[in-house]
Structure 1
Amino acid sequence: MANISDLSDDLLVKILLSIPTKDIVGTSLLSKRWRSVWKLVPKLHYDDYSHTATASSQFIEKFLQLNNAPFLEALHLNLRNDYAPKDIERWVNVGVSRSVRDLELLRNVYYFKPMSLPMSVYTHETLVVLRLKQVFIENVPSTTSLRCLKDLSLINVNFSSDETVDRFLSCCPVLETLDVLRWISEKVKTFAIRAPLLQRLKINSPVGGYQNAWKDYGFVI
């Protein structure tokens, strides 16, 4: 019977893609053969649940520093701890520099502290999937181009104005899927959705006691 360690790096990477990132890194302890295979895996899916901010930062930093894949297929960060915005921005910038195609930045801070979307994202033309949570989009640069973006999720993303929403979405000409959950204190009154190729739209509306607070807000499709 063949030993799994005898497989090529390409096959081992395909196998590792199916398991969590922490377990992927853990395979480096199996044998000499496995010490560097994990560095070729083109994804980082990290959830800091049950980990301190310090430990999580060290893990993310080390993974991004040592990863040798030709490009990053996916960078998913599910962050419950309160990290410095400059640290998160640095991680995202590394992903963009590595041509990441699937970027997920989900902040789950109990007391929402606005963090601006890193500027590098606005001009990342090969991005296909973008999922954001608890991020602030204030000014959309004139150079913004998300010409390959097809899947966009905006969860509690705080836009500075109605016009900002319109400018941002207009830079996503091939958008097919849009998921929106609006932030209760945002400044946008009318969330206008103009996406000619849109195939799937999910709008999450507030419920219960929040309904009255939203009576002057709405969507235009």
Structure 2
Amino acid sequence: MNDDGLGNTTSKSKEIQVKIMYEHKRKRMNVEHDRLSSLPDDLIHKILSFMDTKLVVQTCVLSSRWRFVWTSTPYLKFSTWGYSLLEFSNIVEHVLSGRNNEIDVYSVTLYFRGEVSQVFVKIIFNYAFSHNVQEMTITSTEKKNFPLSLFNSVTLKHLTLCGYPNLRVTSSLELPSLTTLHLHHVTLYDDNSDSYISKCVNLKNLTLDHCYMMGSCGFTICHPQLLSLTLKFVHGVVKAIAPQLKNISLALSYNDYFPCFENALPSLEKADICIHYPCDALKIINMLQQLCSNKYLTINMEILELLSSKMDLISNQPSPFANLETLKVYPLTEILIGQTQKKVDVSALVKSYLLDSSPNATLTMVSREEVRAAKNETLAQECFLKIHCCWEDLSELISYEEQKVSCISSELKYIEELLTHIPESKKVKMQELFASMCEEADTVMNKTLERLKI
């Protein structure tokens, strides 16, 4: 090093220290980069499927390895969020025109605002259908009617349609390969509501989540192939005729209409019933009787507590479940920390009502104390994880602080050595500056060391 340029020496030393300090981080980043780049394209595509397609396209600048990866991705994900409609249309046109047209599209996720008649919506739909799309998730803020006839595909198997705040749909679905349909915040307008799904001949799984039924007849599900039905806070009457139904999941509030299963459900195996703030015990009893073939029943404790307060309704009723193998009871409400809650005992009569016809069934009851304890355990584990992450960050910070202190000390010793070789005529001024710097360094380093001791 030069001994005639103290500033240059200090600068070089700091540069060396910085390089040493971040070298291991750079190596780790390079290793991760190399590992990712060495993965096969199909696995990279799966990882990138969680990103917006515009960001996926931008990976082409990473290296020559990544230049054309995006052109063969089977996952398309678009959102108008943060773009003008013109900007978004240009993005869609750029992506679809640059994509390898010989590669099928597996899934399309689209969030858009405005009317469904916009050109880019039709372009995306037509492109997906012409490339044998299998899964679609569409979220729309469309305030006018959304025609289901837009979905014209012989390959589509899974369709999720979401509306914010609520999507009004018209016409019907004609998707011969569709097996799973999820409608979220959708309003159905039609007195003959079964026409929405009657042409989906292979439909196996149907979910209605926060949907509204506006027809005078409600929503009638008459489907011979349906295996699984999920109803979450559906507003309106739902009738179901599904002889092959195996799984039912119901989440209702106290004022929701209870679904009506007009015929027996001989194939039913699993039912998960959740009613928030139940108040009509008679409706609950009638619904349980419709699920008589069920084998695995999960029900919230508040339902049993309500039945325990209305024992006159079940005192002469036979147990509805002849095939029950497992009954699980869990609470929706829990005991809060520092709060006492009146405990309602589940009567032996209610347990007998549910289990007498299936004496070998296993009963599992989860108490509110157990729910609270499990939640506290989860929160504690999360706190441990946060502390562990903080320790790692703090460890790196302490290491960095120690390196800085060592660097300052080394530089001061080196300056002191250099001063012994400076002519007397210049040494006095340099020694004054050195003494001042040492005093300032002592103050800074002492504060740093005190902080590290904590």
TM range (shorter): 0.7 to 0.9
| In 1: Cα distance, 2:146 partner to 2:39 partner | 44
Report the Cα distance in structure 2 between the residues aligned to 1:41 and 1:24, rounded to whole angstroms: 9
Query: Is 1:179–2:219 an aligned residue pair?
Result: no
User: Map of 1:69-218 to 2, 5 A cutoff?
Assistant: 70-79=103-112, 81-83=113-115, 85-87=117-119, 88-109=121-142, 112-119=143-150, 121-122=151-152, 124-133=153-162, 134=167, 136-138=169-171, 140=172, 145-163=174-192, 165-180=193-208, 181-183=210-212, 186-187=214-215, 189-196=217-224, 197-206=226-235, 217-218=236-237
In the alignment, structure 1 residue 16 sits paired with structure 2 residue 48: yes
Instruction: Using the TM superposition, give the Cα deviation of residue 57 of structure 1 relative to its aligned residue in structure 2, in angstroms.
Output: 2.1
- The match for 1:28 is 60
Task: Check the 8 A contact 1:89/1:118 in 2, yes or no.
Answer: no
CA distance in 2, matches of 1:135, 1:41: 32
1:162-212 superposed Cα distances (whole Å, 9 cap, x missing partner) = 32x32231222332322224347x446421012332313224334xxxxxx
Deviations 1:47-95 (A, max 9, x none): 322222222222223222222162111011111x315614212321111
Letter in 2 for 1:50: G
Q: Is the 8 A contact 2:212 2:234 kept in 1?
A: no
Helix, strand or coil at the partner of 2:105: coil
Residues 6 and 132 (structure 1 numbering): CA distance in 2 closer, same or farther, change over 3 Å? closer
- Over the matched positions of the two proteins, sequence identity in percent amounts to 25
Distance 2:128 2:231 in 1: 27
2:439 maps to none
Deviations 1:122-164 (A, max 9, x none): 4x222111122325322x4xxx74232121122344544232x
Q: CA deviation at 1:96?
A: 0.5
Residue matched to 1:56: 88
- For the residue of structure 2 that corresponds to 1:193, the secondary structure is strand
**Gap runs ≥5 in structure 2:** 1-30, 241-454
What secondary structure, in the 3-state scheme, does the structure 1 residue paired with 2:197 have?
helix
Q: Give the CA RMSD over aligned residues.
A: 2.8
Instruction: Normalising by structure 1, report the TM-score.
Output: 0.75
Provide Cα deviations, 1:93-142, integer angstroms capped at 9, x if missing partner.
11101111001221024xx12232354x24x222111122325322x4xx
Q: Which amino acid aligns with 2:54?
A: K
Partner of 2:161, secondary structure, is: strand
Q: Give the conservation status (yes or no) of the 8 Å contact 2:49–2:76.
A: no
The 1:188–1:74 alpha-carbon spacing in structure 2 relative to 1, beyond 3 Å, is farther
Mark the CA change 1:200 to 1:187 in structure 2 (over 3 Å): closer, same or farther: closer
Q: 1:9 to 1:219 in 2, by over 3 A?
A: closer
Per the alignment, do residues 189 and 61 of structure 1 end up closer, same or farther by CA in structure 2, a change over 3 Å counting?
A: farther
Unaligned runs of 5+ in 1: 207-216
Secondary structure at 2:89 match in 1: helix
When normalised by structure 2's length, the TM-score is: 0.40
For 1:169 and 1:117, how far apart are their aligned partners in 2? 10
Report the structure number with the largest CA radius of gyration.
2
The structure whose RCO (Cα within 8 Å, separation 6+) is larger is 1
8 Å contact kept, 1:42–1:72: yes
Count, aligned residues: 200
Letter in 2 for 1:32: S
| Matched residue SS, 1:170 | coil
Distance 1:47 1:188 in 2: 36
Contact 1:160 1:187 in 2 (8 A): yes
- State the one-letter code of the partner of 2:86: T
